[in-house]
Structure 1
Amino acid sequence: MANFSSDENLQAVMHYQNGSESMKSIAKSLGLHHTVLLHWIRQYEHHGEEVFKKSYTPYSVQDKLDVLHYIKEHGTSIRETAAVFNIASHSTILSW
């Protein structure tokens, strides 16, 4: 999968939000699996445009515990939780 710039991520989300094309169609045109685009959309809904600004985030033990506790308490999926906590990849949570 190719890396996308912050602007490209935002444009893809805005394209979907405009409602003229399906998520799967947009994802296919970008060479993405539709779940990747869905993750971008969820991140945007929770955090706005700032979510696409790239940065490395070290997670403390307490951060990890807070995320895992949130999953347990709210019954959210790994992907949804990653969006809520602005974690770039749900697989990060899986490794905890």
Structure 2
Amino acid sequence: MTKYSLETKLLVVHAYLNGVESLRDTAQKYNVSYTMLQKWVARSRESGTLAAQEGYTNYSLEFKMDVLNCIEKTGASIEEATLIYNIPSSSTVWTWKYLLETQGIDALKSKEKGRPSMKKESSKKQAVERSEEALLAEIERLRMENAYLKKLNALVQEERKSQSVKKRK
């Protein structure tokens, strides 16, 4: 889909509204899509020329629910709701409606952008989690492990000595 500048949109809409040509003729004259011109004209009539300004907007959960409740209560079409609430694309409202029907209201909440933080837990939090008793138990376990390894090493040394004495005879 071609993106049109704000100046182009305003020029074409004003040309249609102030001229005597049809929508189709105006669209061909300015080399824009007929359906896009229809939407621009409808939006211009509904909420003025500033409606042609489109940009990324992060809609709140409350706003999304207001739009969907308006469609439900008044029986307005999705296209009418996009005009009333000045939403640039009707596909946005279609998506909201689909998400609400299939996944529930939690799916309409805004998601956090970007990657999660890689920061490690603070040392204070770790210190609180490791109680004094846990630390003493770990020390005891390490002492037992150390003693076991010393005994094992002594046995291996003793066995090597006894094998070397047997070989000399």
Deviation at 1:86, TM superposition (A): 0.8
Corresponding residue of 1:7: 7
Q: C-alpha distance in 2, partners of 1:91/1:51?
A: 17
Change (3 A) 1:22 1:85: same
Partner of 1:66: 66
d(CA) in 2 for partners of 1:11, 1:55: 19
Q: Secondary structure in 1 aligned to 2:41?
A: helix
Instruction: Please list the CA deviations of residues 33-92 of structure 1 after superposition, one character each: whole Å capped at 9, or x if unmatched.
Output: x22212111211222122222332111111111101111222222112111111111100
Q: TM-score of the superposition, structure 1-length normalised?
A: 0.84
TM-score between both structures, scaled by the size of structure 2: 0.51
**Displaced runs of 4 or more, over 4 A:** none
- The whole-number CA distance in structure 2 between the counterparts of 1:95 and 1:44 is 24
Do the aligned partners of 1:43 and 1:83 also contact (CA within 8 Å) in 2? yes
Secondary structure of 1:95's aligned partner: helix
Aligned partner of residue 20 in structure 1, secondary structure: coil
| Distance verdict in 2 for CA 1:80–1:19, change over 3 Å | farther
Matched residue, 2:37: 37
Displacement of 1:27 after TM fit? 2.4
Return the structure number with greater helix share.
Answer: 2
Q: What does residue 52 of structure 2 align with?
A: 52
Give the aligned partner of residue 24 of structure 2.
Answer: 24
State the secondary structure of the residue aligned to 1:21.
Answer: coil
Q: CA deviation at 1:19?
A: 4.0
Q: Which amino acid aligns with 1:62?
A: E
Q: What are structure 1's unaligned runs of at least 5 residues?
A: none
C-alpha distance in 1 between matches for 2:8 and 2:71: 30
Looking at structure 2, the residues matched to 2 and 10 of structure 1 have their Cα atoms a distance apart, in angstroms, of 16
- Identical aligned pairs, as a percentage? 35
CA RMSD of aligned residues (A): 1.6
Change (3 A) 1:77 1:28: farther
How far has the Cα of 1:8 moved from its partner? 0.8
Match of 1:94 in 2: 94
Distance 2:25 2:7 in 1: 19
Task: Decide whether the 8 Å contact of 1:39 with 1:79 is kept in 2.
Answer: no
